[in-house]
Amino acid sequence: MGLTIYLDGDFVPQEKAVISVFDHGLLYGDGVFEGIRAYNNRVFRLEEHIERFYESAKTIMMDLPMSQEEMADVVLETCRRNNLQDAYIRLVATRGVGDLGLDPHKCGKPTIFCIAASIQLYNEELYTKGLELVTVPTRRNLAEATNPRIKSLNYLNNIFGKIEAHLAGVAEAIMINQEGYVAEATGDNLFIVKKGKLITPPIHAGILEGVTRNCVMELAVEKGITVEEKLFTRHDIFNADECFLTGTAAECIPVIKVDGRVIGSGKPGDITWDLISAFREQTQTDGPVIFKE
């Protein structure tokens, strides 16, 4: 039995969830999306995801046809229709149907759809042993080009990085910004630990402001760990005591080697494990309930 998909006001079977070949999301990557997780009958940090979704839409001058509260209800109801209490959710807004030209003003209204299913980015063994990463030649987008803070449908910059990671024989890659500072991985934010401090690139380094990233930073502060958002280079990663990635799909995953350099002891560190444990605990109680008793 297939999934039930929300599409422009209706819930339809997966095989009938289709959009026009003239949709500008398909033709030009003109749209925005959110990846969201549900755990233990709750949609984790749904309010933050919806807020970021609307911020992305505003920046590309797309007027969404419903309120943030109504959009949140769409996410919850999509989970209910698929009887899912633990899920990966993809919420998408495209510019809608237009013509073969670029002009977005010729698109009548946005196309909105929501999918709730499952996802596993990395083999479970990697969450225990840690990832090996490489730095790739493709630089992170400039803020003045396709701003990385917009979670847009145009992900070619990230996909180029992922292709280069696969060519190097690893699952994930680090992307550097135009100034040579570390930005993020192709789909995740990056953290290092040095002398007990948790350090991550700032927003202006050319990163997406991750919901999981922000949660982990909050959890670290609660544990008395000093958190710094500052620019750093690969040199700082090579000489870090610990390293890990965060993301909605990836959650929190340790990194043990970068560009052939072993990070710390070569095993996931204590602070990494502590924050992974705290994050997993947080996901069990954070967010609106899907199925109410």
Rounded Cα–Cα distance for residues 210 and 186 (Å) = 13
| Active site positions, annotated | 151
Q: Phi then psi for 4, rounded to 5 degrees?
A: -105, 125
Give the integer Cα–Cα distance in Å for 233 and 150. 24
Contact between 233 and 149 (Cβ < 8 Å): no
Q: How far is CA 26 from CA 30, 95, 125, 242, 265, in A?
A: 7, 9, 35, 40, 45
Which of 166, 79, 159, 142 lies closest to 115, judged by CA? 79
CA 178 to chain centre: 21
Backbone dihedral angles phi then psi of residue 75, each to the nearest 5 degrees: -60, -50
Query: 227 with 201: CB under 8 angstroms?
Result: no
Determine the 3-state secondary structure of 233 from DSSP.
coil
- Tokens describing residue 134: 């490489």
